[in-house]
């Protein structure tokens, strides 16, 4: 009989594996942009799948002025309104009104169910989050559409 790994690393591995088995996506710590506090790969994938015209105009594949302006705007809205409000209500950026999350669908609403299925819930292990202290890490982080979710209280 094998021993259970009860170390912090073992618990982290167990939690992340359980979330992935439940349908969450495994994130990659290298995709996290510490300057804008976003998993850029997940945000880009969500916007491409749900709002391709807007995603193209935001130039998320390049470190361009368009991308930096959008990410700064998004970061500013989160600082002002909070992650949950921005996810629930989206943001307006230039000519685009961007949805960043689709809520739980009501029974019998296939359009809402399809949209909800496009949300990207991810868990990322060993994420370096501080721009100042590169050794600062979160053990694991939950994301929705590329943005870290606050812990439940």
Element (H, E) at 21: helix 8-21
Q: In a 3-state reduction of DSSP, which class is residue 38?
A: strand
Its pTM stands at: 0.84
pLDDT in tens, 34-93: 889 899 999 999 999 999 999 999 999 999 999 999 999 999 999 999 999 999 999 999
Among 13, 41, 35, 34, residue whose Cα is nearest residue 122: 41
pLDDT in tens, 96-151: 999 999 999 999 999 999 999 999 999 888 877 666 665 555 556 677 777 777 55
């Amino acid at each position: 009989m094998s021993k259970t790994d009860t170390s912090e690393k073992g618990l982290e591995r167990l939690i992340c594996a359980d979330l992935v088995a439940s349908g969450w996506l495994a994130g990659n710590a290298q995709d996290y942009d510490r300057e804008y506090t976003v998993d850029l790969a997940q945000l880009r994938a969500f916007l491409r799948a749900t709002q391709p015209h807007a995603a193209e105009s935001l130039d998320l594949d390049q470190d361009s002025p368009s991308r930096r302006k959008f990410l700064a705007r998004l970061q500013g809205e989160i600082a002002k309104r909070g992650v949950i409000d921005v996810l629930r209500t989206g943001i307006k950026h230039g000519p685009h009104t961007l949805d960043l999350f689709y809520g739980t669908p009501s029974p019998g609403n296939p359009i809402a169910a399809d949209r909800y299925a496009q949300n990207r819930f991810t868990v990322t292990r060993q994420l370096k989050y501080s721009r100042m202290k590169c050794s600062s890490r979160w053990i694991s982080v939950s994301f929705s559409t590329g943005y870290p979710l606050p812990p439940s209280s």
